[in-house]
Structure formats: C-alpha cells, structure tokens
Amino acid sequence: MSKLILTDLDHTLLRTDGTISDHTLNVLKRCRDQGMLFAIATARYWIGAERYINLLKPDFEITTDGTIIHSKDRCIYRSEFTCEDTNEIVRLLLAAKPEAEITVADGKTVYWNSKHISESERLHKAVYCKYDKPIMSRANKIVAELPDDKIAIEIADKIGCKIQCYRGENWYAFLPSGSGKIEAIRAMSDVTGIGLDEIVAFGDDKNDIDMLKICGTGVAVSNAIKEVLDIADEVTLSNDEDGVADWIAKNILGEK
C-alpha cells in the first residue's frame, strides 16, 4: 500500500505548456484528504519550482536535482560542494568557454551571469553575478551551457563530481559526488519513516531512472524516454493526458 506519492514536474506532472490541470489538483487533494503524503522531485532550482510549490503545497520539495529538500520552509537535507570547489568549477568553465552562461545554486539563492534575468520565466528571481571574483558560496548545483559533453566530463573528472544532462538541452549540471534524487529520497524516507517500498514514483527522464527503480512502484508517463519506459513497473498516459492523475485515480483511489 503506497503511503507517499512522489513525482517529477516537467514532462511528468506538468503538461507540456507548463500547466497543471484542475483534474490533477483534485486527484491529489483527495489523496491527501485520505492521509497520503505528497512530494515533488525535480531538477529545477527551488526558485524555478516556486510557483508550482505554492500551487501544490507538497509535504516535501526535492529540488535542484535532489541536492536539497525543503518541508514547509524548513531545509531538512542538502548536499553541497565546498566553497573552493564551487569557485574552481566556475573558473574552469569560464576558462574553457569565456562566454558561458553559468548558474550557481546555493539553497534558494541562484547566481547567474546572464544580463537577461528579468526575462526568464524560471529564474527571474536569480541574482546577477559576473563571477569576476570568488563567490562565498557552497553550491548545491552548478549549471553551464556547453557545446558538447567533452568540457563537462573533463571538469567533473578533475573535481571528482557528478554531471547531469537533460533531454533536448545543451545544459550540463555539476552535482556533488554522492548526491541525486535517490539520495534525497532515502533521506526523506528516514525523516518520514515511510519505507521506499511504500512510495509510488512518477518520471520521464534519465535522472528519474534510479528513482523509479528504488521506489515500491515506478511509473513512467507514456511520453518518457525509452530508457525510462524500459525500466518502469508500469506506464500511464502522457503528461498532456494527465497520466499521473489517471494512474492515481485508478490505482490508489480505486476509481473506474
């Protein structure tokens, strides 16, 4: 019996246009009225997920590719680089590609060297930073736009950290070694006392694969990449067909 619903946001719970249907909101409310917990697990920075957090009001917010967990404004888990490694990654990125756009996340704060911050739908609350001098930050995640993965791999090997890329994008994320969604999920399981086998998880992309594997039930939306579809316990409708809500309504709420 599932006690906690855990879902990715983009291309999973969210429709392609970034909206969440009233049907999905109603289904999630009925589950929570029955005492189930609800959590999101997203690659987005906290500020990029904020409007969905305000709408969904999850019990737990796993953001920034699993390097941070918040629960009702309280940070209960974080994985971070040292200040030295944070600045070294930024230095190496700029040395390899001086014009690279770089974001550095430190908790709910995101630094960015873009001159178009106010125009960004996700990161309009970011703080402008030229990176012309060291920043006093222990980053949870650093992301840069790169032409291919060669630069990213070389930097990750030098620092000894993880790299993550995303479907259809040329942005590469650097994460502390030993961090990620599954580490955050284990931490959340410890806090709640809910076993991994009591969690149902929904996802669509490479960084959801381990999450779907370790949870009791791993469900892929039908628009997921092939690697996710291949390992999922079950496949539901697409994100644009409210696949997460449809599976929950049928398998948890027992609706026809």
Angle at 97 between CA 91 and CA 103, to 5 degrees: 60
The pLDDT tens digits of the residues spanning 40-81 come to 999 999 999 999 999 999 999 999 999 999 998 899 999 999
- The per-residue pLDDT for range 112-159, each reduced to its tens digit, is 999 999 999 999 999 999 999 999 999 999 999 998 889 999 999 999
pLDDT tens, residue by residue, 168-203: 678 999 999 999 899 999 999 999 999 999 999 999
161: left (phi over 0), alpha (psi -120 to 50) or beta: beta
* Separation of alpha carbons 211 and 47, rounded Å: 22
pLDDT for res 45: 96
Question: What integer pLDDT is reported at residue 51 of this predicted model?
Answer: 96
In the chain, the N- to C-terminal Cα span, in Å, equals: 19
pLDDT value at residue 165: 84
CATH classification (class only), 83-175: alpha beta
Cα 168 to chain centroid, rounded: 16
Q: Please list, residue by residue across 186-196, b when 16 or more beta carbons sit within 10 angstroms of its beta carbon and e when fewer do.
A: ebbbeebebee
In the chain, where are the structural domains located?
Answer: 4-78+179-251, 83-175
The architecture CATH gives domain 4-78+179-251: 3-Layer(aba) Sandwich (3.40)
